[in-house]
Amino acid sequence: MLAYIWAEDLTGGIGVDGHLPWHLAADLKRFKEKTMNHPMIMGRRTFESLPGILPGRKHIVLTHSNLDTSDPNVKVVHSKEELDEWLATQDQNQLNVIIGGATLFKMYRDQVDILYQTIVKDNFQTDTQMPAINHADFEKVEDQRFDDSNLKYEFVTYRRK
């Protein structure tokens, strides 16, 4: 089973210079809750933007580059086919969470089962956009709105119909 987790601003922006353009503690907490004990799938730039290996989660990194890591919590794959082969070996009830970047979100948008979206209710300077997802294929199962730390934001969860 595949899930996406991401945060975007009102224009669909998800990043700038390889980082989030905002700091939202509640979103980071939600990210941890939703990804803990689940493999996280990401591109190399997303992997490199992390503060380090996140505990309690296997890191699956799709890259065309040589990524030298001997950490047992990191698996490197070099093609979509190799990633698909790895996914096929996983328990189909196991949640695998794609955390970015935009290329991976675009690559699996027709296969993703669950969407964990954070909408930051503001416009930021961004250089990376979230690829369009046909929300008509999904049912909204959670919608929580918040007004914290000078930012309004919303947590939305969708499941594929």
74-103 pLDDT per residue, tens: 999 999 999 999 999 999 899 999 999 999
The predicted structure's pLDDT at residue 149: 66
**Cα end-to-end distance, the chain, whole Å:** 14
pLDDT, tens digit, 9 for 90 and up, residues 105-131: 999 999 999 999 999 999 999 999 999
Tokens 């929300």 found at: 135
The predicted structure's pLDDT at residue 148: 77
Residue 142: pLDDT above 90? yes
Residue 68: pLDDT above 80? no
Q: Is the dihedral of CA 52, 53, 59, 61 positive or negative?
A: positive
User: Residue 82 has which token pair?
Assistant: 């190799």
Residue 73 near residue 59, CB atoms below 8 Å? yes
Torsion of CA 74, 78, 79, 80, to 10 degrees: 10
Q: Which CATH superfamily is domain 2-160 in?
A: Dihydrofolate Reductase, subunit A (3.40.430.10)
Q: Is the dihedral of CA 47, 34, 58, 160 positive or negative?
A: negative
Which residues lie closer than 8 Å to 135 by C-beta, 6 or more apart?
Answer: 158
